[in-house]
Amino acid sequence: MIGTLRISLSALRANAQALRALVGPARAAFVVKGNAYGHGMVETALAIEPAASMLCVYAPEEALALRDGGITAPILILGPVEPALLDEVAGADAALALWDTKQYVRDLVAAARRRYARVRVHVKVNTGLHRLGLEADDLPDAIETYAHLNDLEIAGIFSHLAAAEEIDSPYTTYQLERFTKAYTHAEPILASHGARPLRHIAASAAAMLWPQTRLDLCRFGIALYGLWPSAQTRAAMNGNALALEPALSYTSQLIATRTVEAGAAIGYGTTFHAPRAMRIGVLPLGYADGIPRAFSNRGAFLIDGARCAIVGRVAMNMCVLDLTHAPQARTGSTVTLLGRDRDAEVSADEWAQWADTINYEIVTRLPSTLRRTFEE
8 A C-beta contact, residue 153 and residue 222: no
Half-sphere exposure of 89 (CA within 13 A, CB side): 31
Contact between 53 and 29 under an 8 Å Cβ cutoff? The reply is yes
Q: Write the DSSP symbol of residue 22.
A: H
Tell which residue, 154, 132, 136, 158, has the closest CA to residue 144.
Answer: 154
* Choice among 58, 268, 287, 360 that is catalytic: 268
Catalytic residue among 33, 37, 124, 183: 33
Q: How far apart are CA 38 and CA 360, in angstroms?
A: 9
SS3 157: strand
* H or E segment to which residue 257 belongs: strand 256-260
Helix, strand counts (H, E) of the chain: 12, 21
CB atoms within 10 A of CB 305: 14
Give the integer Cα–Cα distance in Å for 359 and 349. 5
H or E segment at 314?
none
Say how far residue 40 (Cα) sits from the centre of its chain. 11
Show Cβ contacts of residue 56 under 8 Å, excluding neighbours closer than 6 positions.
29, 30, 31, 32, 33, 75, 76, 78, 219, 221
Does 25 sit behind a cis peptide bond, omega within 30 degrees of 0 on the bond before it? yes
Report residue 278: phi and psi, to 5°: -155, 155
Residue 33 catalytic?
A: yes
In angstroms, the Cα distances linking 308 to 268, 298, 302, 305, 338 are 19, 11, 6, 9, 13
Active site residues: 33, 268
